[in-house]
Amino acid sequence: MDLSQVFVSLRSGANKLSQLNASQKNLGLLSAASSIDKNRKSILDANAIDVELSRQKGVSESLVDRLALDDKRIDGIIESIKIVAQSEDPIGSEIAGWKTPEGLSIRQVRVPLGVAAIIYESRPNVTADAFALAYKSGNSILLRGSSSALNSNRAIVKAIKEGLEKAFDKNNVNQGIPEAIALADSGDRSEVDEILSAKGFVDVVLPRGGANLIKMVVEKATVPVIETGSGVCHIFIDETADIQKAVLIAENAKLQRPGVCNAMETLLVHKNIASEFLPELEKKFAKRAELRCCPVSYQILSKTDSKEKVKLATDDDYGFEFLDNILAIKVVENIEQAILHINSHNTKHSEAIITQNISNAKKFQSEIDASSVYVNASTRFTDGGVFGFGAELGISTQKFHVRGPMGLTSLTTTKYLIDGEGHTR
C-alpha cells in the first residue's frame, strides 16, 4: 500500500487542527461521537464478522473478548469521546514563563506533536480512543490495527469521518477536519514497514499490543517511538495481608479480563502466609485458571480439589504475558526477594502489594520499577479512563517523555515563545 498521499493529507490535517480552538475541536469530537451512535448497527455487524473469523481461527476466548463489541462497549466508546471533549485543552497552556536579565520575555507553551501513528492489536475501542485524544490535542492520527479487527476499524473510522464532515457550528460553518484521521487498511504487512520508515512524515509512532509487536516496532522504526502495551504484572501477597481481601484482589486482577495488559500474570506469596492463603485462592478461582507453580506452591495446591489445574512452572513462565486464564505462582522468602523478582521479570507496567504493614507498602512503592505501583488494589485500575483521562493511547512502559496511562498531554511537546524589544546579542 502506498501511503505517501495519506501522509500528505494527515500533515495538512495536523496543520489545520493546530489552529483550532478548544470549542472548534470539541464540536468535531461530539459530532464524531454522535455519528458512532447513529452507525451503531453497522459497527456491531462488522465486529460480529471479525469475532466469527477469529473463533474460526481458534483464537482463545480471552483474546476474542478483547476484540468483541456490544452495545455497552459502544456506549463506553461514545462516553470516552465525550469526556475527552469536556477535558481541558492542553494546547497553548503556559508551563513556565520568566524574564531574562536582558529583558527578554520567555514563555514555554504546550503544542501538538503533529502526525502520530498507532500500530495496535485487536481492541477496536482503541481506534476511537486514539482519534479522540489525538484530535483534542491537535494531532492527526494514522491508525493501523490488526487484521483481526479490520472490519470493525473500517466501520468506526467511516463513522468518525462522517461525523467530522457534519460538524457545523451555529453559523453553518463546518469545523470538522476529516483529513486528521486515516486508517491503513490494506492488511498488507508492508504498510507497517512504510509507517515505521516515514521519517519526516510521521512525528511519532506508538505500538500497542504484545511483546513481539513492540519489539518489532522498536527495532525497525526510524521515527520516534513511545513504547506501550506489554504487561507482565505481579501481585505480592505480604505476610501481613488480609487474606480475604487478597483473594478478591487476585481474582479480579487475573480473571475479570485476562486478555488485557493490566491483568496479573504472576502471583508472589510470602512463605509465612502461603499455606493459609493459597488454598483460599484455589477455592475462589474454582478451576477457572491453570496454576503454574513453584515447588513450594505446587506442594500446597496439588492437594486441593483443583489439582488437575495445578502444574509445575518452568523458568519461562515467570516474566511471560499469558493473556489467558493462566497464572504463574511463586512463594518467596521476604519482601526483598519479591521486589528483586518483580524488577527482574516485569515489563515496567503495573505492580501491586497486598499488605497491612505501612513500612512494607512504602518500601514496595519506592523500590519497584514500574509505571504504576499499587498498595492493596488490583492492577486492573491502570487505565486512562479510570485515571480520569477519558481515554488512553496506551500504557507507556518507558521512561522518556511520558510514562503510564497516556492521556491528552502525551501527544504534546513544548516550544519557547520569546518576545523582545529590538534585543541583540
Residue found under cell 460480529: 48
pLDDT tens, residue order, the chain (425 aa) = 679 999 999 999 999 999 999 999 999 999 999 999 999 999 999 999 999 999 999 998 888 998 999 999 999 999 999 999 999 999 999 999 999 999 999 999 999 999 999 999 888 999 999 999 999 999 999 999 999 999 999 999 999 999 999 999 888 989 999 999 999 998 788 899 999 999 999 999 999 887 788 889 999 999 999 988 678 999 999 999 999 999 999 999 999 999 889 999 999 999 999 999 999 999 999 999 999 999 999 999 999 988 999 999 999 999 999 999 999 999 999 999 999 999 999 999 999 999 999 999 999 999 999 999 999 999 999 998 899 887 888 899 888 888 999 899 999 999 999 999 999 99
Contacts of 33 by beta carbon, 8 Å cutoff, 6+ apart: 78, 81, 82, 85, 163
Contacts of 61 by beta carbon, 8 Å cutoff, 6+ apart: none
Element holding 336 (H helix, E strand): helix 335-345
Domains of the chain: residue spans and CATH: 4-228+393-419 (3.40.605.10), 233-381 (3.40.309.10)
Q: What was the pLDDT predicted at 1?
A: 63
Distance CA 240, CA 360 (A): 10
Q: What was the pLDDT predicted at 394?
A: 86
Per DSSP, the three-state class of 236 is strand
This prediction's pTM: 0.85
Distance CA 176, CA 154 (A): 19
User: Is 278 within 8 Å of 297 (Cβ atoms)?
Assistant: yes
Q: What was the pLDDT predicted at 229?
A: 66
Q: What was the pLDDT predicted at 108?
A: 97
Q: What was the pLDDT predicted at 183?
A: 97
User: Is 14 within 8 Å of 114 (Cβ atoms)?
Assistant: yes
Q: What was the pLDDT predicted at 227?
A: 82
